[in-house]
Chain A
Amino acid sequence: MDKNNLYNIPPFADDDRVDGLAKVTGKAKFTAEHQLPGLVYGVFVCSTIAKGVIKNMYLAAAKNAAGVIDIIYYLNCPAVPGYKPADRTKNPNARDYTGHKVFFNNLVLSNGQPIALVVADTFERAVHAASLVRVEYDKEVPETDFEKNKFNGKLLKNRGEFLRNEKDAWKNAAVKLEQEYTIPIETHNPMEMHATTAVWEGDNKLTVYDKSQGPKGVQGELARMFELEEKNVKVITEFVGGAFGSGLRSWPHVHAAVIAARKLKRPVKLTLNREQMFTMVGYRPYSWQKIGIGASKEGKLYGITHQAVSNTSVYEDFAEGIVNVSQFLYDCPNVNTDYKILPLHINTPTWMRGPGPASGCFGLESALDELSYQLNIDPIELRIINNAEVHPQSKLPWTTKYLKECYALGREKIGWSNRPSVPGSLKEDGMLVGYGMAVGVFGAGRGGATAKGILKQDGSLLLQSAVSDMGPGTSTAMVKIGSEQMGLDDNKVRFELGDTDFPSGPTQGGSGSATTVGTAVMAVCDALKQSLKEMAIENIAAFKNLKPEDISYENGKLVAATDASAAIHFTDLLKQSSKPELQVSKTSTGFAQRDKYVANSFSVHFVKLHVHPVTGVIKLKHIVSVADAGKIISEKTARSQMVGGAVGGIGMAMTEETLMDHRYGRYINSNFVDYHVPVHADVPPVDVLFVNKPDNIISPTGAKGIGEIALVGVAPAITNAVYNATGKRIRQLPVTPDQLIG
């Protein structure tokens, strides 16, 4: 066997993704690709009204269609114990499930709500039979119009007010402005659509293949919902074809697959189609923001008032930290914020890449840009003038903060000195030229995780943890940490994930996987080294009288500090100790110094673009994204995350908008023809720069997290550049050519 190719994969080229080849050659099995004996297929029937009561469901035609096995709906659906826990003696804190309870009753609370599951022997037959189900409703008038209701006090729910010193102090500043900013619903559209396959063994043991960002989270929820012991629920989510928050929780299709598989005593696979992705797995909520901001003539901020409203569903509250950025991103003595949510007859929103700050920074970073023109101060200078050296509220220092370094790196790379100070004054090849920038921020941190390490006689290290890798390259980063810690070649280290049989790992979200899992992997490596030293003392004559601290570990070798000739490679040590392998598990705990430090990742995005002076068509020319994300563990995958975030930001700024016809409370662009994600032609060259300075306070990995800051701030950088090019301020996303016609 080729010793560089223990797992039959070609050797690494530079920074390649460890699972890249498997993914591009189709060897990687995604959730819907798992075929099981006796598998049957479930397809949802979805509501076509947004509010009302199901009066009748005519199922005969569907039941008689070829291959149909069962149709599950509210009248025949077995009860899901967790939806309404009757026995609260076991757990007095048990509460009714707040998410959509699938097939629970005959109420319709949103359009596209799953109301029946047709199960058939083939997917195609299930699709056809589902189309034959006729539903009669008692229709009621839905409320889906955000704009109409955003100030409707009868519907709004308060989600927190914040005040630092004086309220609405911006009004007393020398230079001030007040503006409103709107972001439409943006729908989760990863390439891989959500899918679940459920398999029961008897009535107490469940295996689920699920597209998820957190197998442990799915395991816990299914155990609660179906009153099972956690150890009897196995969740497998080995490969994920992109997820930006939609996989952070379990949606109705996960429950429905489990219900159907139990009822039919057969494995059931349920795959959502693209249209169903729009109504079932969350989205970035519609939001309205109003920002009042004031500064001295020299540009020192005096006051910020930041209000926001975002939508939720009528059955569940969803809130995110939209206004929080104004509380700490800049040094401002007087800040007040107010956030409300508006329940509408739409399914529940969820976290979407950079949740909270992505929306909030569009408001705040646009307002700052507007202020910079009023002040006639360069937007970067304005931000530097107001740089928060310590957290303005708690006065705590940041673990690390290299925002000023980001400005310096980015302004150089984009050619900021070419930026026209007067909007609309620079032309290039007949096109209006604009430069813009904006800051992104997101919480950094570290949670608890457990990892297992198995060191083998063949010189390989196998690491395991029950996390998922939705695309950031977690496996690759963990391999890099493992190989560096153990002094091994990358090809000898493998990281396995996506299976709840592995030690408990976190749900992947909030840019915390690298620090959280990485810390556990480092703890495992430390423990492995310690065990090897003890093993050497016990089994190898030359080490017999030494203590572990007298032995050093260098690139796989144990070396006695006092006698360099006493050295043994761990592979020989394992052989001579008659141990086929050495196995340890280690748990690391979360970031504990929250009382001493504030932890954030920062980014600054720079954009150069052209706007056609007559037709208003925007052509992005260059994006430079600079990240203060701590130590970069895996440069290629880190860069890919940043580029992906820039593309997501382009979508947010220029193309993405989920449109609803409020007469029907129904989306009219729930497909890839009409819902525009950016295509290659929209994406300019994206340069990614990292400050790459370790943050050793958050975690020993030195990392701070990249996923969110890659996107947060991109949209306002683009609209700020549009203003610089045209003098037209875009406060409602997305910006399309019709808004910029010359």
Chain B
Amino acid sequence: MINFEYVKANSAQSASEARIKNGASQFIAGGTNLVDLMKKGITAPERLIDINALPLKEISLTPKGLSIGALVPNSVAADHETVKTKYPLLAMALNAGASAQLRNMATVGGNIMQRTRCSYFYDTTMPCNKRNPGTGCSAVEGYNRMHAIFGASEQCIAVHPSDMCVALAALNATVQVSGTKGTRKIPFADFHRLPADTPQLDTNLQVGELITAVSIPAHSFNKAYYLKVRDRLSYAFALVSVAVALDVKDGMIRSAAIAMGGVAHKPWRLYEVEEFVTGKPISKELFTEAASIAMTGAKTYTHNQYKIKLGKAAIIEALTKASS
């Protein structure tokens, strides 16, 4: 048996200390991804630091924005009245993810930390730079229908699997972390990494740092839509997904936040598209052009060429649904 030590942390500080003390340790909350990874032999932590007892389960609204504790279950966040009314984009994205059972177990912090679902990452008999750096990427010349079209490298073309994170990226969320040296705030755009030459690193968290909360600033968006296109209607990862939040008045887009999922190693924010649509009146032509801008620079592989066409379609549809 691969034995591991199990400890319960009673404070964020002690959790971080325990994590640093043993480099082969990991935090565990809902465990919906970590347990899979352990069962599949992809990771074998020597110590699991259970953080479930930490007081990180609050959802609070201040004039500055919304704060969601890292241990709030996905289903609780999705059903929370404030989230539903003030941040409907986040509620929609949360409900698009996984299955009801998984959403009950998975936490907001864990959702951010989940690893890619690339098939090659999960099969330990196949080369994978993310799992075993230097062995090569099986997906580049393999079956890559689910894989990235933006920001990938020849070392890794995996995508980030989360729906929630796509909404958080669009909404300019900030990830609050605490470590042994104190706390810091990481803008969502800087939290996840592109693969480059170090695909084994998913995020910019330092060893020992623990996510304590996610905060989303107050905003003026009055329209939102999360569109997820997938192979079955529940419990499937996105082929592509689009998160759209708009501030619309009198048919005019005053501001926009748009991000995509299923296209890159991290939630893919579409700044250029946002800028393009801002200040313009809603029209079919506008959305069609926006979709073209969004797909500029996409690089496809053998099986994911459809993502350009589907990505455009999804952006048009999400903008249309959001603005209607």
Contact = CB atoms under 8 A, between A and B. Distances in A.
Contacts of A679: 99, 232-235
A668 B127 CA distance: 13
Interface stretch (A234-242, A669-677, A703-711): A669-677
Interface stretch (A141-149, A562-570, A636-644, A733-741): A733-741
B231 A737 contact: yes
A671 B41 CA distance: 15
Contacts of A124: 1
B41 A614 contact: no
A679 to B, nearest CB: 5
Given A615-B317, A679-B233, A666 B123 contact: yes
A13 to B, nearest CB: 28
A124 B38 CA distance: 13
Nearest to B312: A741
Contact of B232 (A655, A741, A742): A655
B310 A612 contact: no
B220 to A, nearest CB: 28
A668 B310 CA distance: 23
B125 A742 contact: no
A676 B138 contact: no
Q: Among A612, A614, A678, find the residue whose CB has the most chain B CB atoms closer than 10 A.
A: A614
A46 to B, nearest CB: 10
A131 interface: yes
B316 A741 contact: no
Interface residues of A, number: 36
Given A654-B232, A679-B235, A736-B231, A664 B126 contact: yes
Q: Among B1, B126, B227, B306, find the residue whose CB has the most chain A CB atoms closer than 10 A.
A: B1
Interface residues of B, number: 35
Contact of A680 (B142, B234, B236, B317): B234
A265 interface: no
B130 to A, nearest CB: 15
A668 B120 contact: yes
Interface in B16-31: none
Contact of A668 (B119, B229, B231, B309): B119
Nearest to A683: B233
Contacts of B42: none
A125 B1 contact: yes
B77 interface: no
B120 A615 contact: no
Contact of A614 (B122, B231, B313): B313
A682 interface: yes
Contact of A48 (B1, B125, B320): B125
Interface of A is mostly: loop
Given A124-B1, A615-B229, A661-B142, A668 B317 contact: no
Interface string B295-324: 000000000001101100110110010000
Contacts of B232: 654-655, 676, 678-679, 681-682
A617 B143 contact: no
A216 B125 CA distance: 39
Nearest to B127: A664
A661 B117 contact: no
A585 B276 CA distance: 83
B143 A673 contact: no
A663 B142 contact: yes
A61 interface: no
Contact of B231 (A663, A676, A680, A741): A676
A619 interface: yes
A218 B320 CA distance: 60
Interface in B63-101: 99
B310 A741 contact: yes
A264 interface: no
B159 interface: no
A128 B235 contact: no
Nearest to A131: B41
A650 to B, nearest CB: 9
Contacts, number: 87
B227 A615 contact: yes
B310 A666 contact: no
A408 interface: no
A472 interface: no
B1 A668 contact: no
Interface in A103-139: 124-125, 128, 131
A615 B1 contact: no
B229 A617 contact: yes
A679 B102 CA distance: 15
A642 to B, nearest CB: 21
Interface in B217-243: 227, 229-236, 239
Nearest to A49: B125
B256 to A, nearest CB: 19
Nearest to A672: B235
A659 interface: yes
A66 interface: yes
A679 B234 CA distance: 7
Contacts of A681: 232-234
A464 to B, nearest CB: 40
A128 B2 contact: yes
Interface in A545-587: none
B143 A659 contact: yes
Interface string B128-165: 00000000001001110100000000000000000000
B106 to A, nearest CB: 14
A614 to B, nearest CB: 5
Contacts of A131: 41
Contacts of B310: 615-616, 737-738, 741
Contact of B316 (A614, A666, A680): A614
Nearest to B2: A128
Contacts of A617: 229, 233
A738 B41 CA distance: 33
A612 B232 CA distance: 14
A614 B240 CA distance: 13
Given A655-B231, A668-B119, A668-B143, A737 B239 contact: yes
Nearest to B120: A668
Interface string A613-624: 011110100000
Contacts of A619: 233
A527 to B, nearest CB: 52
B143 A615 contact: no
Q: Among A617, A680, A681, A682, find the residue whose CB has the most chain B CB atoms closer than 10 A.
A: A617
B143 A661 contact: yes
Contacts of B143: 659, 661, 668
A681 B317 CA distance: 21
A612 B2 CA distance: 49
Contact of B313 (A674, A678, A741): A741
A736 B306 CA distance: 11
Contacts of A616: 229, 310, 313
A612 B1 contact: no
Contacts of B229: 615-617, 737
A742 B314 CA distance: 10
Interface in A592-613: 612
A738 B233 contact: no
Interface string A233-266: 0000000000000000000000000000000000
27 contacts: A65-B1, A66-B1, A125-B1, A128-B2, A131-B41, A614-B316, A614-B317, A615-B229, A615-B314, A617-B229, A655-B231, A655-B232, A661-B143, A666-B123, A668-B119, A668-B120, A673-B117, A674-B117, A674-B119, A676-B236, A678-B232, A679-B235, A682-B232, A682-B233, A736-B231, A737-B229, A738-B310
The 10 A-B pairs at the shortest CB distance, nearest first, are namely: A681-B233, A738-B306, A681-B234, A668-B119, A48-B125, A614-B317, A614-B313, A679-B234, A128-B1, A615-B229
Given A678-B232, A679-B233, A680-B234, 19 more contacts: A614-B313, A614-B320, A615-B229, A615-B310, A615-B317, A655-B231, A661-B138, A661-B142, A661-B143, A663-B141, A668-B119, A674-B119, A676-B232, A679-B99, A682-B234, A738-B307, A741-B306, A741-B313, A742-B313
